[in-house]
């Protein structure tokens, strides 16, 4: 068996990238020159990528059924072009959900950087295809680069990304999530979120089903009859536990229940859906568009929760929404605990698609500090989509100086 060096391996990948358009290296260049000659303007080239580990402290540990999150150990990328335009992106590895770590993601970020230099940032589809092999181990890094490319294209076009994608939703509602705790503590949190204007509360469950019913009862009591309540079991229940709990939660008028059972069990998810009085949303069962297709073919859920960090960015998130919409399945866009950089990219996805009915984009609310300038704003649970060209978001230059480039 012949061993190839990492450098040679990356060279092979780069050739695959050039060939993705079935043009080959010379053909690709000729094709781009032709495009430029056709009035599309000067061809822009990616000249460099800056990669930074970005660690953000959170107020208190955030507990879900499958683990506890104690910090956001993210990665920031800045993709530079010869036009002076810089695209920004963020990866938020979520070990309990995607199995990613910051160290692994930094390695993937370096490898993808090698593939990007010299490329045309507007060729987003080719880029996403070229990075597809990284979706299995580092989907959040693919997401970071994908959103950075859209940021560049939007700036070149003079359009905010959601309008570039054909959308026109200028604002929409987000929920606010209550982390797992004792029922009374969760009720107090929910009441505080309501007082801050959030109209919909997402309640983490997925532990002992009887306590979970108490959690939902306590939150309903605390927020009153008008507030929306949705729940998320994060794979924590067995099929019988899920059916038992959801039937007892019926009086509390739950909008939907996310991922009641383990991610790989589509038959189990369908069994719950068939017996539950509460609509079922797939979350961990859907990373990529292929997963969405399997879910709708199995008729295993009423809704799908899209996350850029699972799907690998904006391009694949939109594809998931299209697949779901073709099966009359509406979507939500959710998040890990990323900063407002990646959250703003998610905001653009929601704003671009009528089939995305729900949003759970509150990850940054858990952070001790917000080192991000511009981006979306939020008032009374309503997200206002930024109208600046591109993503319309950046990190605070003073904060950027404190990060270590690798």
Instruction: Name the residue with the smallest CB distance to Mg ion.
Output: 283
Report angle CA 225, 243, 234 to the nearest 5 degrees: 80
CA–CA separation, 311 vs 291, rounded Å?
Answer: 10
Tokens of 262: 């383990």
Minimum CB separation from Mg ion for residue 330, in Å?
A: 16
Q: Which is nearer to Mg ion, 258 or 362 (CB)?
A: 258
Q: Which of the residues 45 through 74 are near Mg ion (CB under 5 A)? A: none
- By C-beta, is 149 or 178 nearer to Mg ion? 178
Within 178-237, the residues that bind Mg ion by CB under 5 A are 232
Nearer to Mg ion, 52 or 62 (CB): 62
Closest CA to 349 of 326, 383, 380: 383
Nearer to Mg ion, 88 or 332 (CB): 332
Task: Report the DSSP beta bridge partners of residue 230.
Answer: 202
CA atoms within 13 A on the CB side of 23: 14
Catalytic position from the list 204, 270, 273, 310: 204
Structure tokens at 267: 């038959």
Q: What 3-state DSSP class applies to 156?
A: helix
State the minimum distance, in angstroms, from the CB of residue 284 to Mg ion: 7
| Helix, coil or strand: residue 104 | helix
Which residue out of 189, 270, 307, 310 is catalytically annotated? 307
How near is the Cβ of 240 to Mg ion at its closest, in Å? 21
Is 244 strand, coil or helix?
A: helix
Active site residue 204: yes
CA-based nearest residue to 142, from 314, 318, 299: 314
Is residue 175 involved in binding Mg ion (CB under 5 A)?
no
- Beta bridge partners, 48, equal 80
User: Least separation, in Å, of the C-beta of 18 and Mg ion?
Assistant: 38
Distances in whole angstroms, Cα of residue 229 to Cα of each of 109, 172, 190, 259, 323: 38, 17, 10, 15, 26
Instruction: Considering only residues 242 through 271, tell me which ones interact with Mg ion, judged by CB under 5 A.
Output: 258
Told to judge if 270 belongs to the known catalytic residues of this protein, a careful annotator would answer no
Give the binding-site size for Mg ion (rule: CB under 5 A): 3
Which range, of 16-24, 209-217, 222-230, 276-284, touches Mg ion by CB under 5 A?
A: 276-284
Least distance (Å) between residue 244 CB and Mg ion:
20
In three-state secondary structure terms, 305 is strand
| Between 66 and 327, CB nearer to Mg ion | 66
Distance CA 71, CA 60 (A): 9
* CB count in 10 Å sphere of residue 14: 18
Closest distance of CB 132 from Mg ion, Å: 24
- Tell me which residue has tokens 């995607």: 98
Of residues 14 and 281, the one with the C-beta less far from Mg ion: 281
CB 282 within 8 A of CB 270: no
* Least CB distance to Mg ion at residue 281 (A): 8
- Other CB atoms within 10 A of residue 50 CB: 16
Pick the stretch among 92-100, 223-231, 275-283, 395-403 that binds Mg ion (CB under 5 A).
Answer: 275-283
Long-range contacts of 187-195 (CB under 8 A, 24+ apart): 187/218, 187/219, 187/221, 187/222, 188/222, 190/219, 190/222, 190/223, 191/222, 191/223, 194/222, 194/223, 194/224, 194/227
278-317: which residues touch Mg ion (CB under 5 A)?
283
**Interacting positions 332-371 with Mg ion (CB under 5 A):** none
Give min distance, CB of 141 to Mg ion, in A. Answer: 21
Cβ proximity to Mg ion, 232 vs 291, nearer residue: 232
What does the alpha-carbon distance between residue 183 and residue 208 come to, in Å, rounded to a whole number? 12
- Select 113 or 202, whichever has its Cβ closest to Mg ion: 202
Q: Which residues bind Mg ion (CB under 5 A)?
A: 232, 258, 283
Task: Give the residue numbers annotated as catalytic, written as ranges.
Answer: 204, 307
């Amino acid at each position: 068996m012949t061993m190839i060096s990492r450098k040679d391996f990356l060279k092979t990948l780069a050739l695959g990238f050039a060939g993705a358009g079935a043009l080959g290296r010379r053909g690709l260049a000729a094709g781009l020159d032709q495009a430029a000659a056709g009035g599309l303007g000067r061809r822009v080239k990616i000249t460099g990528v800056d990669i930074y580990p970005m660690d953000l402290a959170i107020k208190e540990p955030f507990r879900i059924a499958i683990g506890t999150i104690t910090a956001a150990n993210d990665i920031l990328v800045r993709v530079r072009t010869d036009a002076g335009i810089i695209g920004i992106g963020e990866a938020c590895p979520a070990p309990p959900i995607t199995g990613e770590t910051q160290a692994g993601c930094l390695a993937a970020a370096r490898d993808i950087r090698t593939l990007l230099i010299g490329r045309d940032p507007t060729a987003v589809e080719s880029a996403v295809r070229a990075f597809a092999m990284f979706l299995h181990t580092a989907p959040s890094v693919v997401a970071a680069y994908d959103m950075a490319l859209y940021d560049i294209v939007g700036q070149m076009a003079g359009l905010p990304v959601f309008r570039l994608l054909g959308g026109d939703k200028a604002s929409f509602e987000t929920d606010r999530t209550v982390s797992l705790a004792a029922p009374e503590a969760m009720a107090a949190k929910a009441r505080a979120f309501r007082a801050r204007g959030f109209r919909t509360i997402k309640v983490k469950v997925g532990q002992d089903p009887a306590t979970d019913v108490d959690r939902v009862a306590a939150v309903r009591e605390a927020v009153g009859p008008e507030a929306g309540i949705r729940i998320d079991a994060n794979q924590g229940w067995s099929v019988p536990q899920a059916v038992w709990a959801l039937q007892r939660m019926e009086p509390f008028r739950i909008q939907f229940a996310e991922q009641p059972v383990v991610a790989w069990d589509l038959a189990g998810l369908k069994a719950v859906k068939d017996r539950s009085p509460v609509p079922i949303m797939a979350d961990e069962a859907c990373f990529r568009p292929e997963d969405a297709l399997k879910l709708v073919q199995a008729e295993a859920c009423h809704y799908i929760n899209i996350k850029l960090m699972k799907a690998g960015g904006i391009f694949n998130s939109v594809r998931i929404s299209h697949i779901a919409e073709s099966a009359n399945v509406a979507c939500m866009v959710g998040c890990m605990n990323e900063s407002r950089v990646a959250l703003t990219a998610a905001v653009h996805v929601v704003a671009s698609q009528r089939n995305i009915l729900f949003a759970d984009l509150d990850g940054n609310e858990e952070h001790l500090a917000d080192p991000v300038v511009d981006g979306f704003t939020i008032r009374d649970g309503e997200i206002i989509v930024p109208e600046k060209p591109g993503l319309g978001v950046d990190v605070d230059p003073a904060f950027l100086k404190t990060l270590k480039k690798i």
